[in-house]
Amino acid sequence: MASPGPKTMPLTGGATQKKAVVFEANGGKELRLSGETGIWIFVVGDLAVFTLFFILIMLGQREETAAFATSRAMLNVGAGVLNTLFLLTGSWFVAMGVERYRSGHLAKARRDLDFAILCGLAFIANKCSEWASKISAGLSPATDNFFMYFFIITGIHLFHVILGVGVLLYMRALTKHDSVSSLDVLKLESGGLFWHLVDLLWIVLFALFYLL
């Protein structure tokens, strides 16, 4: 945004031009952040918010260690492990898909994204069944502070996963274009970054809720 553009400056300048500026600034060497600059605002911003959540959980843990331990014992570690596997596998497929798109293998990239979407849906289904079993066992956000954090924060995370599946569907639609374009590469990388963020946040939440 700060670097002055050429004379034919558009209204504010777009992603492709930005990329060109970065490219020149590196002496013609391809050395740039993955995805659009803007997605990093979102990623860093979301990390900051979840850091607040992590701190809240840890403060609760410190203040009510015994109560947290009792409540934690009621969680099903298997469900947590399964969900971690779903997201990690999904991340692997997303990374493969973006790489294959870059090298022009559109159909293969689309298949990778199909598997990633399936992993996301499996996470959502597993999360819902886990919640349903907790609620039918009489546990709710009103039970205690541990379950308040558990339901609300994993709920906010689940909302991210649902958004992420939407992003993956959009990425999949991009692979249906006839050819690879540099703007679409940026969009796919940005979408991939969002998915990795969702994955990363879950790994920390998994440790804080199930393992401590």
Partner 1 sequence: MRASDGNRLFQTSIAFCAWSGIASIILFIIGGVLLGGMIPPLLAPDDPPSEFVRKVSEHLLAIRVGSVFLMLSFALFGAFGAGIAAQTRRAETFPVFSYVQLVFTAAGTVVALLVAFCWALMVFRPDVYHPTTVQFLADFAYFLAVFSVPVFGGWCVMIALPIFLAESEAAPFPRWVGYLNLWAAVLFAPGQLVLFFKHGPFSWNGAVALWLPFIAFFLWILIMCIVLLRIAKGRTSASALN
Binding site for partner 1 (CB under 8 A): 1, 9-17, 36-39, 41-42, 45-46, 49, 52-53, 56, 141, 145, 148, 152, 156, 159, 183
CB 30, min distance to partner 1, A: 20
List C-alpha distances in Å: 195 to 2, 62, 122, 171: 29, 31, 15, 11
Q: What's the rounded Cα separation, in Å, for the pair 32 and 19?
A: 8
Phi, psi dihedral angles at 73 (to 5 degrees)? -65, -20
Question: Is the Cβ of residue 53 or residue 123 nearer to partner 1 in the bound state?
Answer: 53
- 144 in helix, strand or coil? coil
Least CB distance to partner 1 at residue 171 (A): 14
CB of 211 to partner 1, least distance (A): 22
- Measured from the CB atom, the residue of 14 and 78 that comes closer to partner 1 is 14
**Terminal C-alpha separation, the chain:** 43
- Which C-beta is closer to partner 1: that of 45 or that of 104? 45
CB of 57 to partner 1, least distance (A): 10
Q: Which is nearer to partner 1, 104 or 155 (CB)?
A: 155
Distance from C-alpha of 108 to C-alpha of 175, rounded to nearest angstrom: 9
